[in-house]
Chain A
Amino acid sequence: MSFITPLFLFGAATVLLPVLFHFVRRMKARRVPFSSLMLLKATPKELVKRRRLRDLLLLAVRAAMLLLLTFAFARPFIPQDSIPFVADRQEQSVAILVDLSYSMQVSGVFEQARNALVDRIDAASDGDELSLIRFSDAARQLTPLSDDHALHRSVVSGLSPGYGTTDFHTPLRLALDILQDARHDDRVVVLISDFQRNGFSGSFENFDLGPEIDFIPVKITKDDLRNTYMEAFELSTRRTGDAVALRLDARIESQGQDVHTEQVVDLNMEGELAAQRTVSGTPSSPVTFRQTASRMGFFQGSLSLGEDDLAADNRYYFTVHVTDRPSILAVDRGPDRRDAFFLASAFALGEDAHFSFETGDLQRAAIRDPDIVIVANFASCTEAEIATLLRVARRGGSVILSFGDQTSPQAWSAALQKLGIGTSDRVVTPRASQGSDAIIGQVEERHPVFDAIASGGGILRPVFRRYLRVEPDSGASVLATYDTGDPLLLERRVGQGTVLVYTTSFSTQWTDFALHELYLPFLYQMALYAYSPSGAQHNYAVGAPVPLRGRVGEEWDVQAPDGNVFRVVVDSSGTGFFRETGIPGHYAAARARETFFFSVNVDPRESLLETRNEEEAYAAIAARDDEVATVPEEAALLVRDEEKEQKLWRVVIIVLLVLFVVESHLASRTMQRSNPTAA
């Protein structure tokens, strides 16, 4: 016989109390001096003997009650392996989750995890069904829930840690889904991990493993780790004349042992060591590199650190695309060309200008093939002009439309329909309709156009006196609205390019936005987005999808750092997504006459080797509100299940109740004798 909580057996010592009380009382009452025996009569010896026997019986019953009570609290059970002719323990359905995030790449850690996994499979009985799940920031079921342990063993050798971050919520959800179809009532989730702290997201607040599922955390750990990594990286370009200066800023973080030792940071460009810096030995140090681009086109490089316990985050890959200045053509048909004036003031900045800016008419667009065409103050567009704009967009350029007093809403409605934007019906004067000028209502904050202006509240300051009311087409996206609800900025993909519709003027004709400090950032963000709507971004995190633009059905061949080539097909939205960004490094995406380069890096959150212990993990994942967060040992879980099955404590309590009745009977007989009136 065994016990779940054997410490309660110490309570059996309380049995000494009635024994002691019995003997003390007996000793004390054994001889009593009394004034006179003349009124007393001796009790027959037989009756005295009988009374003594009854007292002893009462003592025995009370002692037994105390023993049984402590026995019940200790929760007894009989180990099944000690019961002959009884089957082995209850069969289980077990979901085993293995952490393959890149923190598991620490030397020796994954070997421990793999051994733990093999031990789990080996420990399973023939009837147990298992399912293996690998996870980092995503989860994948490796083997179906089955008792084919050979199958489970076969996948273990192929496992290795990747470059993803840790997220426990997703795999646990998957485990719950898998265990819903389990054959056995006894269900267990085993989580083998280093329990990175960043893996416990806030979603655990509403997560419930359920009372019917046992949770066993298996912590893989290695002490005295040291890790250095790049916590932040920023790449900027600055053009002076024809020269382009590259600036790379990074922050080097160190943790663990020897954080105060100096760090050497190497900058590699195009496969060669370009520069080297030594940063001071503090836990957090900035480092800056400056390089000059010797040519136009893509540059790929990396920043690398010295060796430590976690190599995956010692190198940061980057890609930068140095191009000629994007060209902007502004076509303004207003009588005083005020929109062109404000646009020229924004973009025509001489040698340091980011863009090459000129004004002219649409014929020039057909000849010069500008990257961006801004159309302002057109009363309407002719068929030929619409065709020119569509041609610019289809070859990958961008068209930005704006309006003014010359605008004829009805005439523009047809043009906007042909461009796939929608229809326009009138020019709105908000002060007339709502008593005040319009302000910006809602913006699509995640859109690159609003990167520089969406935060901080300044976006509420510009007022708009007039605008062209556009009813958007289903294919057009509304990126921002006025507070009246009408669109301020719309977008429509056309071919490989983009058409952006700014429903008011760039000048002060309809708005005071041009006088506002957010005007320039807004124009630049819009121009930058319009110039390269598909991929100004060249640096991604592991696992992030990379959008690749093109004609519908067009194919991109993407070569990963390990040499594997993946094919991506552009879908009907004009975008194909490359999702195989599982390895950090440089990638190259190629189509007919174009190559697009990008880099993928590990997420630095995983580099922070802060972990939780098993108790904390258990508390976060499995502890109920009313439960003290202590991790039950696996053996204890098995034992607990056996105890749950047998429920011997119930038998003990029943015997206790019977003894209570016996005790009451014996005690009442004694009481009746001591208090005859009560009888």
Chain B
Amino acid sequence: MPQAATRFINPNVLARISSLELLSRGVVEGFIAGLHRSPYKGFSVDFMEYRPYTPGDDLQRVDWKLYARTDRTYVKEFQGETNTRLHLVLDISGSMDYTSHEITKRTYCFYLAASLAYLMIRQRDAVGLTLFDDSIRTSVPPRSSKGHLHTLLTHLEEAEPGAETAFEKPLHEIAERQHRRGFVVILSDLLSDPDTLVDGLRHFRFNGHNVLVFHVLDPQEVAFEYADIVEFEDLETGERLLVEAERAGQLYRENFERFQARLRKECALLGVDYALLKTDQPLDHALFNYLSSRARQRT
């Protein structure tokens, strides 16, 4: 990946950009520019070709500049699926506000969601959005118009911090609402009962959706490099726990590995793609995961 593009997508750099639209455009354009120069051209989504105009084609798709040069009418045709419906499902519970560096998990998810939405709308896919904690807080049905991107980003920017995470109710509700098959991307720290998460995912799969789970975590939630005696306070419940960090860290890491292993296993059994994202990773990691997941599931 070219260094310039990678640097631009770095989350800590993005945190300085206040406009989500600008941010998402920058991320995606940089990402695509990187793709054009990279050996991963197979993932390109905006590849186009021309075919002669036939009656019934949308006049908006006629390349008028080409017509001016050649005196012939050609229609731009995109290689990507024009009818893909992407539904972004974002966890905005209290635990998503945790950070050990510059940006919280919630912010990181917003960046990622905005970038995915921009990417999809750029290729005329329909993108929907649902924000949830223990219930659905905001839900925007999928659209593919350019103005829809603005709607999505406005909802992201105006989202309030939520309460506790609970997958059972919101996931089932979302699955019920999505009647047409599509691509569901869940962005969450998944710090809740894994059984309810698996039930929700099963519901999506039952409805014929392709599902990609982004397990978004802060680096400290993975490494747990605290020292001395620490009293941890749960961001969602306010519960406190006094631990000797070095001793507790060892146990934490073991528990986390078991937790993640189970999630991977359950997702694999359901045919759901699972990707762990740390908030210090560049966003292009996530975009890659998304595109490769889509390509895999399309085949």
Question: A-side interface residues toward B, CB under 8 Å?
Answer: 25-26, 29-43, 45, 47-48, 51-52, 55, 670, 673-676
Say whether B256 contacts A39, CB under 8 Å. yes
Say whether B249 contacts A35, CB under 8 Å. no
Q: How far is the CA of A50 from the CA of B78 in the complex (A)?
A: 68
Say whether A32 contacts B232, CB under 8 Å. yes
Question: Residue B252 at the A interface, CB < 8 A?
Answer: yes
Given contacts A40-B241, A43-B247, A673-B246, contact A34 B234 (CB under 8 A): yes
Question: Residue B98 at the A interface, CB < 8 A?
Answer: yes
Given contacts A36-B95, A40-B248, contact A31 B233 (CB under 8 A): yes
Say whether B255 contacts A43, CB under 8 Å. no
Chain A residues near B243: list those with CB within 8 A: 40-43, 48
Say whether B244 contacts A34, CB under 8 Å. no
Of residues 232 through 267 on chain B, the ones whose CB sits less than 8 Å from some CB of chain A are 232-237, 239-252, 255-256, 259
A43 → B minimal CB distance (Å): 4
Question: Residue B102 at the A interface, CB < 8 A?
Answer: no
Nearest-CB residue, chain B, relative to A22: B228
Chain A residues near B246: list those with CB within 8 A: 670, 673-675
Given contacts A39-B255, A41-B251, contact A34 B98 (CB under 8 A): yes
Say whether B228 contacts A26, CB under 8 Å. yes
Chain B residues near A52: list those with CB within 8 A: 229
Question: Residue B227 at the A interface, CB < 8 A?
Answer: yes
Q: How far is the CA of A674 from the CA of B251 in the complex (A)?
A: 12
Question: Residue B33 at the A interface, CB < 8 A?
Answer: no
Say whether B244 contacts A48, CB under 8 Å. yes
Say whether A43 contacts B228, CB under 8 Å. no
Question: Residue B67 at the A interface, CB < 8 A?
Answer: no
Chain A residues near B232: list those with CB within 8 A: 31-34, 37, 40
B8 → A minimal CB distance (Å): 28
Say whether B244 contacts A47, CB under 8 Å. yes
Nearest-CB residue, chain A, relative to B104: A35
Of residues 84 through 123 on chain B, the ones whose CB sits less than 8 Å from some CB of chain A are 95-96, 98, 105
Say whether B233 contacts A36, CB under 8 Å. no
Partner of A37, one of B96, B227, B239, B245: B239
B118 → A minimal CB distance (Å): 28
Say whether B256 contacts A31, CB under 8 Å. no
Chain B residues near A48: list those with CB within 8 A: 229, 242-244
Q: How far is the CA of A524 from the CA of B105 in the complex (A)?
A: 115
Q: How far is the CA of A32 from the CA of B241 in the complex (A)?
A: 10
Question: Residue B230 at the A interface, CB < 8 A?
Answer: yes
Q: How far is the CA of A47 from the CA of B105 in the complex (A)?
A: 33
Say whether A36 contacts B252, CB under 8 Å. no
Say whether B191 contacts A55, CB under 8 Å. no
Q: How far is the CA of A52 from the CA of B243 in the complex (A)?
A: 12
Say whether B229 contacts A40, CB under 8 Å. no
Partner of B233, one of A29, A32, A42, A43: A32
Question: Residue B221 at the A interface, CB < 8 A?
Answer: yes
Sample of 22 A–B contacts (CB below 8 Å): A25-B228, A30-B230, A32-B232, A35-B95, A35-B191, A36-B236, A37-B237, A37-B239, A40-B241, A41-B248, A41-B255, A42-B242, A43-B242, A43-B244, A43-B247, A51-B228, A670-B246, A673-B247, A674-B245, A674-B249, A675-B246, A676-B250
Q: Please, what's the 1-or-0 string for B182-200, where 1 marks a CB less than 8 Å from any CB in chain A?
A: 0000000101100000000
Q: How far is the CA of A417 from the CA of B247 in the complex (A)?
A: 115
B126 → A minimal CB distance (Å): 32
Q: How far is the CA of A51 from the CA of B245 in the complex (A)?
A: 10
Question: Residue B81 at the A interface, CB < 8 A?
Answer: no
Chain A residues near B189: list those with CB within 8 A: 35-36
B52 → A minimal CB distance (Å): 57
B193 → A minimal CB distance (Å): 9
Say whether A34 contacts B229, CB under 8 Å. no
Chain B residues near A675: list those with CB within 8 A: 246
Question: Residue B231 at the A interface, CB < 8 A?
Answer: yes
A431 → B minimal CB distance (Å): 94
Q: Among the interface residues A26, A35, A674, which one has the most CB atoms of the partner chain B within 10 A?
A: A35
Q: How far is the CA of A52 from the CA of B245 in the complex (A)?
A: 12
Say whether B98 contacts A35, CB under 8 Å. yes
Chain A residues near B226: list those with CB within 8 A: 29, 32
A216 → B minimal CB distance (Å): 57
Chain B residues near A45: list those with CB within 8 A: 242
Chain A residues near B241: list those with CB within 8 A: 37, 40-42
Q: Among the interface residues B227, B246, B259, which one has the most CB atoms of the partner chain A within 10 A?
A: B246
Question: Residue B218 at the A interface, CB < 8 A?
Answer: yes
Say whether B244 contacts A51, CB under 8 Å. yes
Partner of A55, one of B228, B233, B255: B228
Given contacts A29-B226, A34-B235, A673-B247, contact A40 B242 (CB under 8 A): no
Chain B residues near A35: list those with CB within 8 A: 95-96, 98, 105, 189, 191, 218, 221, 234-236
Say whether A31 contacts B245, CB under 8 Å. no
Q: How far is the CA of A37 from the CA of B243 in the complex (A)?
A: 11
Q: How far is the CA of A673 from the CA of B250 in the complex (A)?
A: 8
Of residues 22 through 45 on chain B, the ones whose CB sits less than 8 Å from some CB of chain A are none
Chain B residues near A41: list those with CB within 8 A: 241, 243, 248, 251, 255
Q: How far is the CA of A482 from the CA of B227 in the complex (A)?
A: 97
Nearest-CB residue, chain A, relative to B244: A43
Q: How far is the CA of A43 from the CA of B246 in the complex (A)?
A: 10
Chain B residues near A40: list those with CB within 8 A: 232, 241, 243, 248, 251-252, 255
Partner of B228, one of A29, A38, A39: A29
Chain A residues near B251: list those with CB within 8 A: 40-41
- Given A39-B252, A48-B243, 11 other A-B contacts at CB below 8 A? A29-B227, A32-B226, A33-B235, A35-B189, A35-B221, A36-B95, A37-B239, A37-B241, A39-B256, A42-B248, A55-B228
Nearest-CB residue, chain A, relative to B251: A41
Chain B residues near A34: list those with CB within 8 A: 98, 232-235
A484 → B minimal CB distance (Å): 91
Q: Among the interface residues A33, A41, A675, which one has the most CB atoms of the partner chain B within 10 A?
A: A33
Q: How far is the CA of A38 from the CA of B241 in the complex (A)?
A: 11
B96 → A minimal CB distance (Å): 8
Nearest-CB residue, chain A, relative to B255: A39
Chain B residues near A29: list those with CB within 8 A: 226-230, 245
B156 → A minimal CB distance (Å): 20
Enumerate the 6 nearest inter-chain pairs by beta-carbon distance, A residue then B residue, closest first: A673-B246, A35-B98, A35-B95, A674-B246, A36-B191, A39-B255
Given contacts A35-B218, A35-B221, contact A30 B235 (CB under 8 A): no
Q: How far is the CA of A676 from the CA of B253 in the complex (A)?
A: 11
